[in-house]
Structure 1
């Protein structure tokens, strides 16, 4: 089976998200490669003023961002909803240790999901983040992408809490699996 990402989204939401990260002073971006967030990751990689750190597993993200905060830097974790299960233990550290944890999540199974393996975690990931003490936001419209990330960053960095921003496939595009 081959896959392709549909181009059904309008606007340059990735640029808006990147601009929001910059406006909020984010200088460190940890990520697990993801097709839905590829353009945001590429913009961060191209920015000489941002430190981008590819992770081998999402569970490395929360502790890395805690260290960044202790060192005076603002960071962000970019991941897919299936990775939420990998970070639950370390993500809950944000609440206990009072450091901001801004997570941008490509929310699989949110709209026209074609891969059954994505559905269970996609349907539960926001609940898991809430159980770990996070505030969660959903982005289902491209016009809300930048403002939502700016608001989430402001909340995370000012309240020292975890905030997860979940990007619907209506925004990112739907992966089609061809037979």
Structure 2
């Protein structure tokens, strides 16, 4: 119950703490309101590194390099950026390295930008087609289970997992 209260109060801090305890030290990201607090917490630690990306697929290559250096990383991006990553996701299978992603959704609950709908509707299909395990967060009680599931899936190696944070949980953006 305490964990659920923490997740409800500040899910980003709760998620960061879980990721940190799970060995995640590299946080590659494209700036987004959905991941800004998580990235803020990562930037406050002396032994974590925040990597600002110019495009989402760079994060897959960075996470591959992190794995080769026997460390753990995460790629944080918005769902619209997943479309940029499809070809690079094939490298995860061929290279047999783990990939952990956090994807904040656009194009679903309460979306006001019609340009976000097509990719938002395709996210789960794209991830499944590329062999990525999906761990969804739709409410505060999902945070612990989703993060732990994704951490364990990627710790086993040679697997990709995505923590997909729903727009109903995040709140819809007005832009």
Question: Normalising by the residue count of structure 1, what TM-score does the alignment of the two structures yield?
Answer: 0.89
Higher percent of residues as helix: 2
Number of equivalences: 169
Within 5 Å, which residues of 2 pair with 1:61-72? Answer: 61-72=59-70
Q: Is the 8 A contact 1:107 1:167 kept in 2?
A: yes
Maintained 8 Å contact 1:111/1:169: yes
Residue in 2 that maps onto 1:98: 96
Q: Deviations over 1:143-163 (max 9, x none)?
A: 211331121011112142110
State the 1:11 CA deviation.
2.4
Range moving further from structure 2, 126-135 or 98-107: 126-135
The residue aligned with 1:85 is: 83
Consecutive unaligned residues of structure 2, counting only runs of 5 or more, are 1-6
Q: In the alignment, what sits opposite 1:5?
A: none
Q: 1:59 aligns with which of 57, 60, 76?
A: 57
> After the TM superposition, which residues 7-18 of structure 1 pair with which residues of structure 2 at under 5 Å, given as runs?
10-18=8-16
Retained in 1: the 8 A contact 2:135–2:147?
no
Q: Tell me, what secondary structure is at the counterpart of 1:138? A: strand
Which SS does the other structure have where 2:28 is aligned? strand
Structure 1: distance between partners of 2:100 and 2:92:
10
TM score, norm. by length of structure 2: 0.91
Write out the 4+ residue segments of structure 1 that deviate beyond 6 Å after TM superposition: none
Gaps spanning 5+ residues in structure 1: where? Answer: 1-8
Distance in 2 between the 1:53 and 1:33 partners?
10
Could you report, residue by residue, the CA deviation over 1:39-98 in whole angstroms, capped at 9, with x for unpaired residues? 111111112211110000001011111111011110100000000010111112111211
CA RMSD of aligned residues (A): 1.4
Which whole-Å CA distance do the structure 2 matches of 1:163 and 1:90 have between them? 14
CA drift at 1:10: 4.6
Asked if structure 1 preserves the Cα contact closer than 8 Å seen for 2:135 and 2:149, the reply is no
Q: Which has the higher contact order (CA 8 A, sep 6+)?
A: 1
